[in-house]
Structure 1
């Protein structure tokens, strides 16, 4: 048995980028910075080391969330790790990213004029099952 689940809490490192696959499925890409706290062996002080995680979300929910996310927004995400490999200009490239199933706003700055973005999205289920994400991801994204 194997389990591929990830939970990450951090801040967006850039404004999200909304695109569409050739079939019209919305794809939202963004980065999340997560600190790893370690003790510096020379000074004995605790230090934060940032990790920058690429994240991708598919479907109508991704399109809706793109309006409320921006650089610096604190979020908690849940999803699965996905490794991909491609070739560009003769160079083999690869990356590990999180395919986001759930996203929750962690900062109150997303509340404006009594509007709570979490309330709108709490009731919206993810529009893709894990099996449908794999086929869309592999065939429709040109990179």
Structure 2
């Protein structure tokens, strides 16, 4: 039987990406995102949302791009795969968590989109009749 491990999310970064390098020189960026899901309204008519906090890991050039251009609060669309990781903490307690290994992403924040636009017209351009 076929298997599939793919996750698509849009959310805001909860902290600035942290970029590190492996001894082999591979970039590794870690960051968190918050994903809000609307749940309707309560009895008083106030909107209710559920917030999911997810840790994300990016590798290679993607890690460097994420660390350079994104910061806490930036909106991002990401595609990746879910990974379950377990470890033992300093006290000897067994710990575990799910995290996303980043495969693809797009900047969605206004600042990241605006940087790619053409500069505003200069005063000379105003003389051109249309």
Q: TM-score, normalised by structure 2?
A: 0.79
Partner of 2:19: 18
1:72 paired residue number: 73
Q: Tell me, in whole angstroms, the C-alpha distance in 2 between the residues paired with 1:37 and 1:43.
A: 16
Task: State the shift of 1:66 in Å.
Answer: 1.1
Question: Number of residue pairs matched?
Answer: 115
Equivalent of 1:93, from 70, 75, 95?
95
Paired position in structure 2 for 1:31: 32
Distance 1:74 1:39 in 2: 22
SS of residue matched to 2:64: helix
* Runs of 4+ residues over 6 Å off in structure 1: none
Q: Deviations over 1:2-37 (max 9, x none)?
A: 110000001111100001123221101011110122
Change (3 A) 1:41 1:65: closer
Once the two structures are TM-superposed, the CA of residue 41 in structure 1 deviates from its matched residue by: 6.6
Deviation sequence 1:57-80 (CA, Å, 0-9, x none): 001221133110100101100000
Give, in angstroms, the shift of residue 45 of structure 1: 5.0
What SS does the aligned partner of 2:68 have?
coil
Q: TM-score, normalised by structure 1?
A: 0.72
RMSD over aligned Cα, in angstroms? Answer: 2.0
Look up the match of 1:102.
104
The answer to whether the 8 A contact 2:82-2:100 is kept is yes
Distance of 2:93 and 2:45 partners within structure 1: 41
